Structure 1
Amino acid sequence: MAASPATGGARSCETPEQTREWMEAIASFLGRHRPLLEAHVVNFFKDRLWEMVDADWMECLRREPVESLLMLPSGCVQDHWPSSLQEFILTARSLVLPREQKSPQSFLPNSRVASIGTVLAQGMNSKKKHEIEALSGIVDAIARSRGAKTVVDVGSGQGYLAQALSFEYQLAVIAIDASSHHASVTNTRAERIKKHYAAKCVEKQQFKVPRTVTCHVLSSDTLAAVTLDACQDDHGEHITETNNCNQSIPQIEQPNPSIPQLVLAGLHACGDLSVNMLRVFVSCEQVQALVSVGCCYNLLSENTDTCPGFPISKAAKSSKLVLGKSIRDLACQRRKMEKPHQGNGPTKF
Structure 2
Amino acid sequence: MASYCKYSCKTPSETFQWIRAIMDFIKPYRFFFDAHVNNFFKDRLWEAVNKEWMDCLQDELVENLIQIPSGVVQDHWPASLKEFIITLRSLSLPRKQANLQEEFPLLQMASLSTVLAQGMNLKKKHEVEVLAAVVGVIAKDVETKTIVDVGSGQGHLAQVLSFEHDLSVVAIDASSHHGKITRARAERIRKHYASKMRKSGLDGRKWCVPKTVTCQILSSETLKALSYGVEKHCLLRESSIGHSPVEEHLSPHSCMIGDSSLILAGLHACGDLSVTMLR
What is the TM-score of this pair, normalised by structure 2? 0.69
Partners of 2:278 and 2:189 lie apart in 1 by 32
* Aligned equivalents of 2:106, 2:275: Cα separation in 1: 29
Instruction: Look up the match of 2:166.
Output: 170
For 1:86 and 1:68, locate their aligned partners in 2 and report how far apart those are by CA, in whole Å: 13
- Partner in structure 2 of residue 253 of structure 1: none
| Structure 1: stretches of 5+ with no match in the other structure | 1-7, 242-256, 280-349
Aligned to 2:82: 86
SS for the counterpart of 2:192 is: helix
Distance 1:139 1:211 in 2: 15
Matching residue of 2:25: 25
Distance 1:63 1:274 in 2: 37
Contact 2:170 2:213 in 1 (8 A): no
- Partners of 1:135 and 1:48 in 2: CA distance: 40
Counterpart secondary structure, 2:200? coil
Aligned to 1:239: 251
Q: How does 1:272-291 map to 2 (within 5 A)?
A: 273-279=273-279
Matches within 5 A, 1:67-216: 67-199=63-195, 203-205=200-202, 206=205, 208-216=207-215
CA displacement at 1:174 relative to structure 2? 3.5
Structure-to-structure mapping, 1:37-56, within 5 angstroms: 49=46, 54=51
Q: Are the counterparts in 2 of residues 111 and 137 from structure 1 also a CA contact under 8 Å?
A: yes
Offset at residue 15 of structure 1 (A): 6.4
Instruction: Give the Cα separation in 1 of the matches to 2:94 and 2:226.
Output: 30
Describe the SS at the equivalent of 1:14: helix
Give, in angstroms, the shift of residue 27 of structure 1: 1.0
Give the deviation of 1:137 after TM superposition. 0.8
SS in 2 for 1:169: coil
- In the alignment, the residues of structure 2 paired with residue 52 and residue 147 of structure 1 have an alpha-carbon distance, to the nearest angstrom, of 50
Bigger RCO (CA 8 Å, 6+ sep): 2
1:221 counterpart letter in structure 2: K
- Maintained 8 Å contact 1:132/1:160: yes
Aligned to 1:119, the other structure's residue is in SS state coil
Q: Is the 8 A contact 1:175 1:211 kept in 2?
A: yes
Output the CA distance in 1 between the equivalents of 2:145 and 2:96. Answer: 31
More helix by share: 2
2:171 is paired with a residue of what secondary structure?
strand
Partner SS, residue 96 of structure 2:
coil
Which secondary structure state, in structure 1, belongs to the residue aligned with residue 120 of structure 2?
coil
- Provide the rounded CA distance (Å) in 2 between the counterparts of 1:178 and 1:72: 37
- Comparing 136-145 with 88-97, which one deviates more in the overlay? 88-97
Return the letter of the residue paired with 1:69.
Answer: L
Identity %, equivalent residues: 42
Q: 1:61 to 1:85 in 2, by over 3 A?
A: farther
Q: Higher strand share goes to which structure?
A: 1
- Partner letter of residue 264 of structure 1? I
Shift of 1:111: 1.8
- Tell me the amino acid that sits aligned with residue 153 of structure 1: D
Matched, 1:224 2:236: no
User: CA shift at 1:125, angstroms?
Assistant: 2.9
Secondary structure in structure 2 of the residue aligned to 1:114? coil
**What is the letter of the counterpart of residue 222 of structure 1?**
A
Secondary structure of the corresponding residue to residue 144 of structure 2 = coil
Cα 1:143–1:167 shift into 2, 3 Å = same
Q: Which moved more, 1:121-130 or 1:226-235?
A: 226-235
- Structure 1 residues 62 and 129, CA, compared in 2 at 3 Å: closer, same or farther? same
Query: What secondary structure is seen at the aligned counterpart in 1 of 2:14?
Result: coil
Q: Deviations over 1:174-199 (max 9, x none)?
A: 43445444333222212222333455
Contact 1:152 1:262 in 2 (8 A): no
1:54-85 residue CA offsets vs partner (Å, 9 max, x unmatched) = 45864577364x43332121011233444333
Is this contact kept in 1: 2:144–2:261, CA < 8 A? yes
Residue in 1 that maps onto 2:262: 263
- Indicate conservation of the 8 Å contact 2:149/2:169, yes or no: yes
Query: Following the alignment from structure 2 to structure 1, what is the Cα–Cα distance between the partners of residues 162 and 169?
Result: 6
Q: How far is the alpha carbon of 1:40 from its aligned partner?
A: 5.2
Report the count of equivalent residues. 253
How far 1:141 moved relative to its partner?
Answer: 0.7
Deviation at 1:24, TM superposition (A): 1.5
Seen in structure 2, the aligned counterparts of structure 1 residues 277 and 67 have a Cα distance that, compared at 3 Å, is closer
Read off the aligned partner of 2:160 and give its amino acid letter: A
Q: Structure 1's 111 and 122: CA in aligned 2 closer, same or farther, altered over 3 A?
A: same
Report the Cα distance in structure 2 between the residues aligned to 1:10 and 1:175, rounded to whole angstroms.
39
Q: Give the structure-1-normalised TM-score.
A: 0.57
